[in-house]
Amino acid sequence: MAEIDHIVIGARTLDEGARYIEELLGVKPTKGGAHPGVGTHNMLLGMGANCYIELIAPDPAQPDPPHPRPFDLDDASLKTALEAEPRLIAYVASTPALDAVVARLGPSHAGDIRAMTRGNLSWRMAFPPQRQDMDNLIPPLIQWDGERAAKHIKDSGWRLTGLEAEHPDAVAVRSSLTARGLGDAVKVRQSPHPRLIAHLRGRDGREVTLTSA
């Protein structure tokens, strides 16, 4: 079975993203680091031992990578949207059996496995090809080498209480999530326009909803 590992907020720059998160949640994200060869860097906000928010942006200190940056950060329409303000763009699911899942689904659906590092952390991820990610509603799968990153991030007091996916082909989205062991983790609804929705609750009971559109 897979489970939600983290949700992803995209930003034009990390500074803009950090201000957005602090204004929205009242907590500053902590420094993450660069993803060598990927062309991105990040900041993090802990949400307990098993989940966190990743704030990600293109890293100006790195050259353009040989492949597109993750989470469609090089897509022209998303770039335009992020110029207006940071926003929820994706989520990532954790599995203890990445090789088995990718072998079962095949690389044309699950993507190829890529090894990645950031500081002392290392992991492997499989990003579904764009034609299979259903507008980022089907998550990349991650398998951490050792403990999950969330255990090492200061707890902000916020919790992810629900994740929803809206798409014109809700049946296909639900089927793809079930095939990855996420059938009970994401609530799927039919809608004319694709949208990811994350519900957060703070330590004080305040609730915030993030959306990708």
Could you give the CA distance from residue 106 to residue 104 in angstroms, rounded to a whole number? 6
Which of the four pLDDT bands, split at 50, 70 and 90, describes residue 148? Answer: confident
Ramachandran category for residue 137: left, alpha or beta (phi over 0 → left; psi -120 to 50 → alpha): alpha
Tens digits of residue pLDDT in 155-209: 999 999 999 999 999 999 999 999 999 999 999 999 999 999 999 999 999 999 9
Q: Do residues 48 and 200 touch, judged by C-beta distance below 8 A?
A: no
pTM of the full structure: 0.94
Q: Do residues 174 and 188 touch, judged by C-beta distance below 8 A?
A: yes
AA identity, residue 64: D
Mean pLDDT of the chain: 94
Which of the four pLDDT bands, split at 50, 70 and 90, describes residue 28? Answer: very high
